[in-house]
Structure 1
Amino acid sequence: MTDQPTPTAAPDASDPSDAVDAPVKPFMRTIKSFVKRAGRTTTGQAKAFEELGPKFLLPYQQNAIDFEALYVDSTRASGPKDLNISPIVLEIGFGMGEATAHIAGVLPDTRFLCCEVHEPGVGALLKRIGEQNLTNIRICAHDAVEVIDHMLPLQSLDGVHIFFPDPWHKTKHNKRRLIQSPLVAKLARRLKVGGYLHCATDWEPYAQQILEVLSAEPLLKNRALATNPELAGYAPKPHYRPLTKFENRGIKLGHGVWDVVFERI
């Protein structure tokens, strides 16, 4: 990857400081939507870090990503012209990487930038990358909000995946939920026109909040309202998102799963 940032779009008039090339503000303490879980990195995960980390791990930086340099030879695209148009999808919080690896295999010409702070999860995804010979994933083991703020230019993404974020069930903890208006506004400005934001949760009150927050963002429209109005704003499960073991267990117990897909306008 080169040291030069990619060109960025003009800053939003509504929030000039939201551009990647804006001056970096002093760090301020904020409410985190995650806690770093305790967990032991296995021998296999540690080996994956050592062998695959140099290629697939992207260090956090305070300048924009050069996507073309980062993903050279990463997809089935036959040349630079094809690589330039292959979609870029940001995934926030991939857990142990099971769904991420599946989706990357289903969509081999899509480039995935995946953020996760849980070290065993990062190791597990690196291990899956090696086992499944995946080349179209890059991982940034850092707080996704800071990655969005400092590394992602405006209108640089074709999609965003946020699957089963921590629902923070207790009312007093709802403020910690990831899907809030400020984050959605940041993501909307970084989506290309026609790009999508796909969220999924198995906690109905959170699904309702997600639907409300995304519906209130003026740069987004609900894809399901045009194609499936009978689903009350929720979307059918897209073909690329697999049913995980956790999700299958929940379905057998009668738990619901809600997908929400909005599009940048």
Structure 2
Amino acid sequence: MSDPHVQPEARPHRTIKSFVMRAGRMTEGQQRGLDRGWPRFGLALEDGRRDFAEVFGRRAPLTVEIGFGMGQSLLEMAAAAPEQDFIGVEVHKPGVGALLSGLLAQDLQNVRVYSCDALEVLRDCVPDGGLERLLLFFPDPWHKSRHHKRRIVQPAFAELVRQKLRVGGVLHMATDWAPYAEHMLEVMNAAPGYRNRAADGTYVPRPEERPVTKFERRGERLGHGVWDLKFERID
């Protein structure tokens, strides 16, 4: 019989994830990129808080992109801005391998990569006030109402990002799902410490620095919209 005076052990709180681990098949090129590129460009969550000026060997404006997919946009941005440094975070290994393969092929020096939960990277590895920009392009919209809690853009996310941006730094988001764009706008308009950079208080025109993906071009041909949001940390 159990002792009524002994309290049951508390169950660990289960964190709601904003992503699903898909078992994608690696191509030979992606695996080669992972094998050869990770020792050079990979960063580990277990290493904790980092001085990224030391990681890159210089002090430069730092951008984090959450969920870079197959990495093409990140490659384009890094190649176009060699004076800036970039950190990409992606959980899916084929995308990580594809990005690393591209970094090796283009001999880019200004990108490093985490392959883990981006919220953990922000919380545990990025110093407060250390980011020039945080990019969140086309995150999973979690269409069904019962899954909306899985959307990464929530009040707690907005506050975490605010802590990591420098004053004047920018959170730039983009989505092709109108209800999610409205959700993003609602969350960010209510988040303290931000200013919407859109002149009308809604969405900004597509910024030139955000590359247009093949997926986006296909959507445009089908008449799909894309909404960009930019919010600046003001305190």
- Partner of residue 29 from structure 1, selected from 9, 14, 38: 14
Matched ranges for 1:191-210 at <5 A: 191-210=165-184
Alpha-carbon displacement from aligned partner over 1:69-90 (angstroms, at most 9, x marks no partner): 2112xxxxxxxxxx32x10011
Change in Cα spacing, 1:55 to 1:62, as seen in structure 2 (3 Å) is closer
Match of 1:124 in 2: 98
DSSP-derived class of the 1:152 partner: coil
Deviation at 1:121, TM superposition (A): 0.6
Which amino acid letter does the alignment assign opposite residue 148 of structure 1? L
Q: Say yes or no: does 1:40 pair with 2:32.
A: no
DSSP-derived class of the 1:224 partner: coil
Alpha-carbon displacement from aligned partner over 1:105-158 (angstroms, at most 9, x marks no partner): 111111111111001010010011112221111001010111111111211111
DSSP-derived class of the 1:61 partner: helix
Alpha-carbon displacement from aligned partner over 1:215-250 (angstroms, at most 9, x marks no partner): 11111100113xxx2xx5101111111111000000
- Partner of residue 62 from structure 2, selected from 88, 96, 107: 88
TM superposition outliers: structure 1 runs of 4+ over 4 Å: none
Match of 1:137 in 2: 111
Q: Say yes or no: does 1:253 pair with 2:227.
A: no
Greater shift after overlay, 197-206 or 34-43?
34-43
- Partner of residue 80 from structure 2, selected from 92, 101, 106: 106
Which amino acid letter does the alignment assign opposite residue 29 of structure 1? R
Alpha-carbon displacement from aligned partner over 1:170-222 (angstroms, at most 9, x marks no partner): 11111111111101100011100110000000000000110111111111100
Structure 2 Cα separation of the partners of residues 54 and 69 of structure 1: 16
Structure 2 gap segments, 5+ residues each = 1-10
Q: Say yes or no: does 1:224 pair with 2:210.
A: no
Match of 1:64 in 2: 49
Match of 1:76 in 2: none
RMSD: 1.3
Which amino acid letter does the alignment assign opposite residue 50 of structure 1? D
Q: TM-score, normalised by structure 1?
A: 0.82
Alpha-carbon displacement from aligned partner over 1:32-63 (angstroms, at most 9, x marks no partner): 00001121111111111121111100011263
Q: TM-score, normalised by structure 2?
A: 0.92
Q: Say yes or no: does 1:215 pair with 2:189.
A: yes
Match of 2:163 in 1: 189
Match of 1:21 in 2: none
Q: How many residues were matched structurally? A: 224
Match of 2:135 in 1: 161
Greater shift after overlay, 55-64 or 120-129?
55-64
DSSP-derived class of the 2:46 partner: coil
DSSP-derived class of the 1:255 partner: coil
